[in-house]
Structure 1
Amino acid sequence: MRYSTLPLLFSVLFAGGALAADIEYCPDVSSIKNTHGVYTAPTANGMYEWIGVAQGATTGDVTEFSSGLFYPDEQKGTQMGVLSKCTYKTQNASLVDLRYRPEVNPDIRVKLEKVENWEEKEGHFGIKYFECESKASGACAFSEIPQ
């Protein structure tokens, strides 16, 4: 009888780990690399990559985080949707928009984490979005929604 509960215990332990989502966030400035105007940074879990290109003719190293931008799904509540971009300023005053895993199409659905750092705003035509402008490491956080 004692042995029959052991497989159940292992399945519960492993299932819990599989359900846990990695917390991702806009990359720290120090992790962004500039290679001929193409900017890359590893994701927090190290398995994927952020990528972007400078806006403007001049490029330079990233010096400052500007903001993260998230568009919520209307049907699934305000904390689930698509992370549009994380924007940074370069030493030459250009802007760089980094995209989270741009190779995935359609965009990956995410859930906001550390919601106190995301401010709800309204853009043109009444479109709601959330913006995170916190400069603290890991503040503009989110997690992928399992498909």
Structure 2
Amino acid sequence: MKLKQLVMCVAILLSGQAWANVTEYCPSPSDIKEVTPGVYKAPTAGGADEWYGTSQTGQGPVGEFELAIFAPHKDVVDAVVIGEVLRCGYALQQGGAVDMRFKREGVVANIETNGPWKEWNSRYYCENKEVRGCAFKEVVRVAKR
């Protein structure tokens, strides 16, 4: 009987539904590395992908987080809104700025409106300077079998 329960738990955890919403965050400035002058990468919290960014106004080490911007695709339902993380912005230590983009354009995510994300002018902004302060959940489409 215990073997059946163990097999059932493993099957549930490995199913697409169990991992359908992965919590992500704007990367910590210390996790963002300049790979070539003005081009930056950072791992996602889930570790399976990367954030990408380029700076038009400078290069060198990343300084501090400034703000994240989220564009809603739908209206708020139960304090959750679905949309897209447009960018996480950072100041560079030697002047200039870099905008980090989550994976690729069009990745669907959701945020909770009762947390650090505040609505202004049809967008949501997060200026929480704490590590993992601007959390969102990537909405992963579960493949049908």
- In the superposition, the TM-score normalised over structure 1's length comes to 0.80
Partner residue in 1 for 2:71: 71
Q: Check 1:139–1:113 CA distance in 2 against 1; reply closer, same or farther (3 A cut).
A: farther
Equivalent position amino acid for 2:125 in 1: E
Moved over 6 A (4+): none
Partner residue in 2 for 1:51: 52
Structure 2 Cα separation of the partners of residues 115 and 24 of structure 1: 17
Equivalent position amino acid for 2:49 in 1: Y
Alpha-carbon displacement from aligned partner over 1:70-111 (angstroms, at most 9, x marks no partner): 011135745111011100000232110000102xx6x11101
> Within 5 Å, which residues of 2 pair with 1:101-112?
101-102=103-104, 107-112=106-111
- Correspondence for 2:97 among 95, 98, 107: 95
* Structure that is richer in helix per residue: 1
- Correspondence for 1:129 among 123, 134, 143: 123
Partners of 1:114 and 1:140 within 8 A in 2: no
Structure 1 Cα separation of the partners of residues 130 and 138 of structure 2: 21
Task: Classify the secondary structure of the residue corresponding to 1:6.
Answer: helix
- In the superposition, the TM-score normalised over structure 2's length comes to 0.81
Residue 115 of structure 1 deviates from its aligned partner by 4.3
Partner residue in 2 for 1:14: 11
Supply the RMSD in Å over aligned alpha carbons: 2.4
Aligned length: 135
Q: Check 1:47–1:114 CA distance in 2 against 1; reply closer, same or farther (3 A cut).
A: farther
Partners of 1:25 and 1:139 within 8 A in 2: yes
Equivalent position amino acid for 2:101 in 1: R
Structure 2 portions without partners, runs of 5+: none
Structure 1 portions without partners, runs of 5+: 123-127
Residue 55 of structure 1 deviates from its aligned partner by 2.3
